[in-house]
A and B are shown apart, each in its own frame.
Chain A
């Protein structure tokens, strides 16, 4: 008798548990307001990207086309996968001293893992991460960028 009871109990338990699951999916079916999908290319304007999001490394320039990078190459040394190459040049200051200056800040976006160690290490806070994330291009050559703008120079003595 007990086994017969168990048999029907199992059937009852099976049906009730299945019905519970169906109620849950049914609940979401009739509550379209709970839909979470974000339709990406259409919602570009309203897309929320936190300000700390690490998209790519940028070298900010001010209105006089000046940046803060002294070309010390600490970021290059701190980069774990060689995505930064700092090319410097020797220039002569008006006083006649020889000085090292940033020539090209080469950034290989294709190699970068966005770990943020270059930003963390930069003593001048010259570089930072931008929020851009749409990096896809048709030619991988385009992923190698020179971050300092042509004709830019080091910001004259900070006060």
Chain B
């Protein structure tokens, strides 16, 4: 088992310097801490950027300007909001289950950070190139429902409980077709490892060379990931007009901020997974046979490709949220069990046939 923070000379240099200065075990520990801090900083920075971008996008979609007061064009608004949440008091309701109430935000946050582990940000920039990367992500991301249920139950609030129960039903059912959508690409790539899947797209992204099954899987995955994120139009767990704020009704201050952060982290992770699996991750836009084009595309660094694709999917999710009304709980489950799941199952069969015949480009 080896940390594969390699490639970039900087990380190599740090690695060799640490190994020369400290005992290898100590150096390894320091590397772990450094990697964790780097990822947390990246996610927090992205979350702040994303909150600002979402509010601006929503504003423009609704003929508004969005935040305009704090900083030029309101650019410091999200930072100011984070400061406010940090300074606020964390209230704990009197008759709540205090231990669970305090632990729940940590569970949700830790789970969402855990899912970041196998993501390949660029060639070689990956915390842990685990050979079952896709499986790991689907397995770990489903744990977040435990934190939500804990929050809903321990708050001793009927709205929270209803929200948590809705969230449980929703995440458990939408995982099925989300997993099946990933299986399509896994079959075609022949590997579960994230780096392997990216390598398999060296001569074209799966969404281009994978024919109809991958396109269907891509659409399904976008829908299911929106549902797993509890975002509109599937935001039943917090359903503002029905349950006030759902499972985090009773949370305030930093505890609320952790739920918020974990929601955004999950959003990044699922967008990154979609970008990696369907749109080629850090792999530039390549088409088989067109060497000139491929060579030209290689000049754009992988990290730009990766974040470009991620933000494209994030934009799609934001666009959904500010356009659609919310579904009802039974319609939500009907959509999964009557439409997405049968379509996904047939799609997997279809994809397996194509993968066996090797008909993709």
Contact = CB atoms under 8 A, between A and B. Distances in A.
Contacts of A28: 60-63
Interface string B287-327: 00000000000000000000000000000000110111000
Chain A interface mostly = helix
A16 to B, nearest CB: 14
A35 B63 contact: yes
Interface residues of A, number: 15
Interface in A5-48: 11, 18, 21-22, 24-26, 28-29, 32, 34-37, 39
A152 to B, nearest CB: 43
Contacts of B98: none
Given A11-B339, A28-B60, A29-B60, A39 B65 contact: yes
Interface in B30-80: 57, 59-65, 68
A28 B59 CA distance: 10
Contacts of A29: 57, 60-61
Nearest to A20: B323
Q: Considering residues B59, B65, B323, B343, which has the most beta carbons from chain A within 10 angstroms of its beta carbon?
A: B323
Nearest to A11: B339
Given A11-B339, A26-B319, A39 B68 contact: yes
Interface residues of B, number: 16
A125 B41 CA distance: 68
A21 B65 CA distance: 20
Given A11-B339, A39-B68, A21 B323 contact: yes
B60 A32 contact: yes
Contacts of A22: 319-320, 323
Contacts of B343: 11
Contacts of B319: 22, 25-26
Contacts of B60: 28-29, 32, 35
Contacts of B68: 39
Contacts of A21: 323-324
Interface in B206-248: none
A37 B68 CA distance: 11
Contacts of A39: 65, 68
13 contacts: A11-B339, A11-B343, A21-B323, A25-B61, A25-B319, A25-B322, A26-B61, A26-B319, A29-B61, A32-B60, A36-B63, A36-B64, A37-B65
**Nearest 4 A-B pairs (CB), nearest first?**
A25-B61, A37-B65, A25-B323, A21-B323
Interface of B: 57, 59-65, 68, 319-320, 322-324, 339, 343
